């Protein structure tokens, strides 16, 4: 299976967003990654549902929504309305994680759990079989263009081992500091999905970079 590439809309040009979406539609990108931030859980505020609800009208790409917010369970229905396939909630913000995972699935979406760089993979032992994906943050969430945290490679390997032990089918997604070099190391360690933002959107030839990431 080729690597799944999910460009992060956080790094797109919001003065000409439709143009960037058209580029993604032409490209070999598999998904579009949507980072929604609240300025509370993370020190930044991004776009909201007024933007994400429009995307399903102009793209057929799989939408992967990542809620970097407190109380993400309040917005399950809103994420469903965006047409998202995946809904990512942070382990660190979700008190009743099993309940939220079940609610996401009951709304017809695939549940995913995100771990910050300091959060150990072992905390997912009792929930991994209920998940469709785990997102490992390889930077501290809140801003694009940060440096890759190398310890993420160890976490990917640990997570892969846990998935195999529990006969889980969960995908491993990684977000933060992804480029061709770090992407290759992540895929070799067991990652299935690479999220890349500034690396793609700041390029003179983003479609070619997406193609190269998929080939890793």
For residue 154, how far is the Cα from the chain centroid? Answer: 19
Q: Is 126 a catalytic residue?
A: no
Encoding tokens for residue 184?
């290759």
Residue 188 β-bridge partners: none
Q: Is 35 a catalytic residue?
A: yes
In the set 30, 64, 175, 192, the catalytic residue is 175
Judged on CB neighbours under 10 Å (0-12, 13-18, 19+), 79 is buried
Encoding tokens for residue 205?
């030839």
Q: Give 12-21's long-range contacts (Cβ < 8 A, gap of 24+).
A: 12/201, 13/201, 14/47, 17/51, 18/58, 20/201, 21/55, 21/58, 21/59
In the set 30, 35, 64, 132, the catalytic residue is 35
Cβ proximity of 44 and 142 under 8 Å? yes
Cα radius of gyration rounded to whole Å, the chain: 16
CA distance 198 to 50: 23
CA distance 48 to 44: 13
Catalytically annotated residues:
35, 175
């Amino acid at each position: 299976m080729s690597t799944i590439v999910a460009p992060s809309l956080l790094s797109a040009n919001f003065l000409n967003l439709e143009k960037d979406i058209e580029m993604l539609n032409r490209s070999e990108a598999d998904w579009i990654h949507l980072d929604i931030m609240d300025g509370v859980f993370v020190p930044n505020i991004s776009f909201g549902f007024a933007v994400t609800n429009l995307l399903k009208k102009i793209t057929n790409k799989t939408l992967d929504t990542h809620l970097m917010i407190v109380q993400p369970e309040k917005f399950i229905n809103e994420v469903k309305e965006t047409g998202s396939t995946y809904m990512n909630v942070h382990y660190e913000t979700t008190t009743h994680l099993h309940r939220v995972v079940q609610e996401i699935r009951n709304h017809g979406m695939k549940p995913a759990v995100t771990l910050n760089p300091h959060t150990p993979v072992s905390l997912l032992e009792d929930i991994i079989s209920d998940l469709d994906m785990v997102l490992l943050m390889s930077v501290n969430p809140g801003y694009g263009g940060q440096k890759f945290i190398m310890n993420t490679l160890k976490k990917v390997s640990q997570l892969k081992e846990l998935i195999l032990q529990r006969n889980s089918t969960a995908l491993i997604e990684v977000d933060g500091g992804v480029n061709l070099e770090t992407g290759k190391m992540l895929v070799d360690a067991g990652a299935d999905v690479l999220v890349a933002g500034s690396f793609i959107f700041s390029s003179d030839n983003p479609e070619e970079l997406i193609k190269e990431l998929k080939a890793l």
